[in-house]
Structure 1
Amino acid sequence: MQEISVILAHPYGGSLNAAIAQTVAATLRSNGYQVNFHDLDQEKFNPVMSSEELAGDHTNDNLLKCHQQEIMRANGIIIIHPNWWGQPPAILKGWVDRVLRQHIAYTFPEGDNGGGLPIGLLKAQAALVFNTSNTPEERENTVFGDPLERIWKDCVFDFCGITSFKRLMFRVVADSTEQERQSWLAQTAETVSRYFPPISANITQGN
């Protein structure tokens, strides 16, 4: 069975982000995928990398080992988080630092000291990111330059070898209506099914 890693980074269980994550997981399961779901805040994932871990790639953190093993096996990756200061929440930044390590998510050619072009190691066929924001789209693009797009598309997933990428930003959340939120959840489900269609459909198309 194909495995999809779903990572949620939001401290409030009643948030729109949590509802998006639940929609993602339910859609994937309905489509026949195994979902490896992680709510980083609920798991109390430690985002701080120790000096020993940085220097030696060794850890006694069993939760971290689980994340690393799953991400190497994953056929797809889906991340859900709010836009905080044009960046992911700190717990998710720490997840990237600690999970997507060299020899886990990427490597370099033999003899390269890390200054050359990376070789992506992740086998995931596609990566999706769902974001929420209270910043209007025009201001996000013209004033800030949409940094989350660059972070996830180029700095993370392309670096790790995943070129099929889609990110959706739902906004403005603060004054959104229930109808708008339900529309966003429907759009979430449609996007997940487009990139991770029902397994039976994949088999049929392959024949």
Structure 2
Amino acid sequence: MNASSTFSGSLGMCLVGALLTVTAIGGVAQAAPIDPTGTWQIHDDTARIRIEKCGSEGQNICGYPVWLKTGVNANGLPRLDGNNPDPTKRSRLVLGHQNILGMKPNAEGKYEGRIYNVENGRTYDITAAVVPAHPSQLVIHACVMVVMCENLIWKRVADILPGQLTGPTDGPDGPRADPEWAPVAGTPLGRRTTGTPSRR
């Protein structure tokens, strides 16, 4: 098994049975991360992830798959989150579920936090950052069990593909936030968390 096959798959996170460590690369560390909000097409072109600010002070980032190359299963029905360890979430749609779970900036000019992998129902610790010299690229260095690593490049996109969610989070034709990151009226950016993000 090579690194390319390991990191391929829906949402770019098909990492079976291994710990994922992600470190952004591409320049000297900076005091504050470059804002990664926007829509990104992942490295294998199988999904688009919309990243937006979240948290009570708008310092965190959350993300949602708003387009999938394969949005239906073998029976032609919308894909469901059937591998989720929480039985109550196994009937939710893969398209639009939250997979980046309130990452926060660190002292190295990156964001750190957790990402949920719908392919195996597991959640992983990650860090990520936009490359200063190439703001249209989100370059991520991903390692499985330390010895197998690969650079993953997500590309910023502005066009809208058929079937892509374009509405506001938790609104019509929009993705769906986990309860702890759900939009709340009257808070900065309409989002807050009341505690530690769920570990799924």
TM range (shorter): under 0.3
TM score, norm. by length of structure 1 = 0.24
Larger Rg: 1
Structure with a larger share of its residues in strand: 2
TM score, norm. by length of structure 2 = 0.25
